[in-house]
Structure 1
Amino acid sequence: MHDKRYQIFISSTYDDLKVERSEVMQALLELDCMPGGMELFPSANEEQWNWIRKVIDESDYYLVIVANRYGSVSDQTGMSYTEMEYRYAADIGKPTIAFLHEDPTGIEAKRSEQSQTGKRKLAQFRKLCETRLVKYWNSPVDLGAKVSRSLTQLIKHEPAIGWVRADKIPEDQSAVILRLRDEISGLKSKLKESSARSRAPDNLACGTDQVEIDFSYQTKKAKTGKNGQAYWVNDDEHDGSLRTTWDDLFSCLAPDLINPASEYRIVSCINNFIEGRTHFKMQEMHPDKKIETIRIYSNVLDQIKVQLRALGLIEIEYGNDWVLTEHGDQHMIELLAQKKAEPSCEPVRPTT
């Protein structure tokens, strides 16, 4: 058996958890593991998201540390990068452990979430983490110890591929790897065909049935500077709700799903859909103010994803990309393809 080393992706907010991350890094190094994560890209943004996904892909295990901050939020998805990383790791089947602070209310204010929207999203994220393997900690030292014990058990029960020096791999193993890749590809194709043949239960909401999409948005108010120039400043964060139909929502998303689309892109499409349907109403509610940063809540996104999958309209590919099924493609055509005009009863008159 070769001397394997495992790469561990560490996800968390940054400034408020520097001491805790240091303890975790030390624990991983003592286990001969290779830590990676925030230190590679301390200022995550949209441009770096593809790189972050690549590092998670290449890691063997994923750890997330959650205290009392939600973290930097993506303008496109409305989710924090920490939550985006966690969802991505879970969706691609990466072995994950969440380490949640057992008493976040006891954390000092300067290291805690300030906005009501952020607090709500943090609470939803904690609940999401609690649906999978989770451990609770109360201090940096306690966290380091629990990471060490928990990861040892995870490696024992879910051994990953790991990393081995290239000069230590026998040449005949390359053929085995290629054969296994072909088998995996074949099994994925069979699974896809089986999913396409399955039929959605008749009691699911669909078509013209109503669905409510909850979201948050930001208002800005106008101010006048000393030079007499007007400018906008943040005013307040609000909750909103849009009532629409499943067909209306699907008609908006479907053209973008003809080819696999990242969940990042889907969230952007839904946010634009919400803005298009609610702009005038919100402008009436907030006259003389500017409406910005419309963001669907992550739990509502999950509801939409589950419903469209249950209806057999989409499937989720590796990496959490959404794509139409054959049934979804046909339903899109029925909803969006231009129909023939009704034949006219009036005789055609020649033009002069």
Structure 2
Amino acid sequence: MIDKRYHVFISTTGADMQAERSVLAQTLASLGFFSWGLETRTPLTTAFARRQIDDCDYFVLMLGSRYGELSASGVSYVHLEYIYAITKQKPVFVILHESPETRSPDFQEKTQEGQVKFQDFRRQLQRERDMVVTFREPRELEVILRHAMPQLTQRYPSLGWVRPNDGPMQALQAENEKLRLKVQQLTTLGRGRSTARPTPVDAEVEQAFVDIEEKPAPLEVPVVRGDEVVAFDYRVHAYQDGNFRELRPRRQMSWNELLMAMGPGFRPPAPEEDFARIINDYLNISALGDVKDSMPRAHATARCQINIRALHAIKMQLKNNKWIVPVGRDEKHRILWGLSPQGESQLNKLMAGQRLETGS
């Protein structure tokens, strides 16, 4: 097995997040990741930070209760790093403090303008990113990372880094050399095969032709019917008698129901990151019924977040069914997804049927 390591750029707001940053760096190191990042920033460090982001495999942003030190443009350095990472299409994992207002006054923004910018940035992260988690105490970060980083690397595979002098790497180089020789032989055969008795190498190349011709095509994810049901978990804050609990209910929906819930969110087309926002907004409206079993007197729900794996599966299926297709890019070079003619037709048919049922 090849010992692959990944580089992670950590973006935080500075001294107010020192304890959390320390836990983050130590946990990443224990998981086999290299962590980079800058604790203090000036206009002179911006170019260095961008070079680190260029070379990193993953970008982790952790936000407490501050917007961060401002650049000359009035945007915080953390915000600028986030924008740059997005433009470079780096996989982004966001960690937010669950209740920033409860942190020490020393860790709060001192001005009204700073507080507004912080809240706007926090909402932007929750709206744009699909991998967003919250924490209360620094000690929770280790558990969060041990759970989330394997999902991040599986969902967004990266080249990473492999030690150049270890045994597995040498074996890989030897295999590459063997394949190179095979390609040369295949090229020779393509120009015309000799009638002479084949050598062992020729026989191996002939077998390679057979293997290529007989190798079956990879299986595709099947197209689902609209009435088929999918189950998924999500996290929600449920409020009852002045208190709240974090619950993890399980929801079952048909693919038609999911299309009706998410389809309007792609009119007009929206970037990939909006998948999470669209379904979380829908869950925020409809989650109350799911929590009644465990909290019968619950009167409100908020902060719904669908399970990351479930979100990925739903996105893949909507795309595989060709209900949602790429239609271009926005000004940030992000791929925009919109309803296909097939998806538009299906959604209109479902909405018409719903209006007939409700009599509206």
Alignment TM-score, normalising by the size of structure 1: 0.47
